[in-house]
Amino acid sequence: MGGATPTADLRSDTLTRPTSAMRAAMVDAPVGDDVYAEDPTVAALEERVAALLGHEAALFMPTGSMANQIGLRLHAGPGTEVISDHLAHVLRAELGAAAAFSGITTRSWVAERGRLDVETALAVMVPDGGAYQVGTACVVVENTHNFGGGTVQPLEEMRRLREGTRAAGVGVHLDGARLWNAHVATGVALADYGACADTVSVCLSKGLGAPVGSVLAASADQIAQARVLRKRMGGGMRQVGLLAAAGRHALEHQLERLAEDHRRTAQVARALGAAAPDVVDPAQVHTNILVLDVAAAGWSAAGFVAAAGERGVLGYPTDARHARFVWHLDIDDTMTQHAEDVLLDLLRRGGAAS
Ligand SMILES: *Cc1c(COP(=O)(O)O)cnc(C)c1O
């Protein structure tokens, strides 16, 4: 970054580029054909993630969407349903994959900031639909919650959902694309979160900083089925230890540093919240995602994002009212300060003209 005005690209934590240490780890990785289950680096990554999440087995996938959709397919099939909150990534941002690939229908409820609402989830669930109603195969919990603004789901609530669904014979899938952030923010062990679901997906390519990859963890039987589903969907990869090596490196060297992203996000949330309390409540900013209700300051989300972008702070309008800014590995303190200054100035000016 040269010059007086650094660009802070806060559109997403998927934007991270591999560090040189990560690239070196990729070059040196031993590999084999992973469709034959002969890639030792992939196997090591899968074992590590399964152990971290407290599950029997795991499977490396090219994307989080595939890990989620195969996870759902392990629970549900044509003519059954999956339920979650209205902002859930699996319902909103995977292009209808559950319906398009698996014949699964979905229902949802409105959840403030994506926060898990166990009573509503259990009330919406239909464990035995009989000959009239669609039967619920699975409830999806997202932790942290992306479009909710990086919301951490309380462990106690996840446990209550697990108990209520288990009693009814309904499965739980945890979309843990950013479960790493929840773990670092709260100190709750990954395995404690993992114990609250039958199937868990995690992303290596968000804040952890790997270029590609997600992992699905579940029972050994489910992962054997998932291996078939992955190949059927075109996700059987060959000498992919090169990519798994990046994931292993990220878990070893770039997990704990997520606390830095959280610290920087909290700094900006406090500054903006002090000036514009209707736009953001810093107490609700739990991790690395800052969602601003810019409409409360008279801006349209698109107008606000465009104005910030002109001054080198890139964000993303999640709907007409809300602009999202996400901290990650490639954002340092200088860029954070620049983002704080620009966003504060725009909120103070107000967006009557936008
Ligand atoms: C990013 C993300 C995914 C997976 O996205 P891909 O782009 O398919 O890897 C899944 N769930 C959540 C909550 C996400 O933020």
Say how far apart CA 354 and CA 158 lie, in whole Å. Answer: 41
| Residue 167, pLDDT score | 96
DSSP H or E segment with residue 113: none
List, chain by chain if needed, residues with CB within 6 Å of any ligand 1 atom. Answer: 63-65, 68, 89, 142, 146, 175, 177, 203, 214
Alpha carbon of 177 to ligand 1 centroid (Å)? 6
Which domains are seen in the chain, by residue range?
A: 20-253 (3.40.640.10), 257-349 (3.90.1150.10)
Residue-wise pLDDT for 310-345, tens only, equals 999 999 999 999 999 999 999 999 999 999 999 999
Atom of ligand 1 nearest to the CA of 68: 10
How far, in Å, from the CA of 277 to the mean position of ligand 1?
30
Q: Which two tokens stand for residue 266?
A: 């909290």
Q: How far is the CA of 351 from the centre of ligand 1 (A)?
A: 31
Which atom of ligand 1 approaches the CA of 214 most closely?
9
Residue whose C-alpha is closest to residue 32's, from 314, 290, 183, 237: 237
The per-residue pLDDT string of the chain (354 residues; one tens digit each, 9 = 90 and over) reads: 445 667 999 999 999 999 999 999 999 999 999 999 999 999 999 999 999 999 999 999 999 999 999 999 999 999 999 999 999 999 999 999 999 999 999 999 999 999 999 999 999 999 998 999 999 999 999 999 999 999 999 999 999 999 999 999 999 999 999 999 999 999 999 999 999 999 999 999 999 999 999 999 999 999 999 999 999 999 999 999 999 999 999 999 999 999 999 999 999 999 999 999 999 999 999 999 999 999 999 999 999 999 999 999 999 999 999 999 999 999 999 999 999 999 999 999 988 755
Tell me the pLDDT tens digit for each residue of 136-195: 999 999 999 999 999 999 999 999 999 999 999 999 999 999 999 999 999 999 999 999
User: For the purposes of burial, counting CB atoms within 10 Å of the CB of 135, is it exposed (0-12), middle (13-18) or buried (19 or more)?
Assistant: middle
Q: Is the peptide bond before 144 cis (omega within 30 degrees of 0)?
A: yes
Could you give the angle at the alpha carbon of 286 between the alpha carbons of 315 and 108, nearest 5°? 80
From atom 14 of ligand 1, which residue's Cα is the shortest distance away? 177
Interval between CA 120 and ligand 1 midpoint (Å): 24
Instruction: Look up the pTM and report it.
Output: 0.96
Among 147, 175, 202, the mutation site with the greatest number of ligand 1 atoms within 8 A of its Cβ is 175
Confidence (pLDDT) at 354: 57
Residue 68 contacts residue 89 (beta carbons within 8 Å) = yes
Per-residue pLDDT, 236: 97
Range list of β-strands (E), the chain: 8-9, 57-61, 81-85, 105-109, 136-142, 171-176, 199-203, 214-218, 289-293, 313-314, 316-317, 322-326
Predicted pLDDT at 4 = 62
Q: Do residues 147 and 184 lie in contact, with contact meaning Cβ atoms separated by under 8 Å?
A: no
What's the gap in Å between 148 CA and the centre of ligand 1?
A: 14
Pocket test for ligand 1, best of 86, 89, 101 (most atoms within 8 A of CB): 89
Which one, of 342, 347, 273, lies nearest residue 309 by Cα?
Answer: 342
Q: At which residue do the structure tokens 């044509």 appear?
A: 78
Distance in Å, CA 129 to ligand 1 centroid: 30
Other CB atoms within 10 Å distance of the CB of residue 159: 15
d(CA 216, CA 29): 21
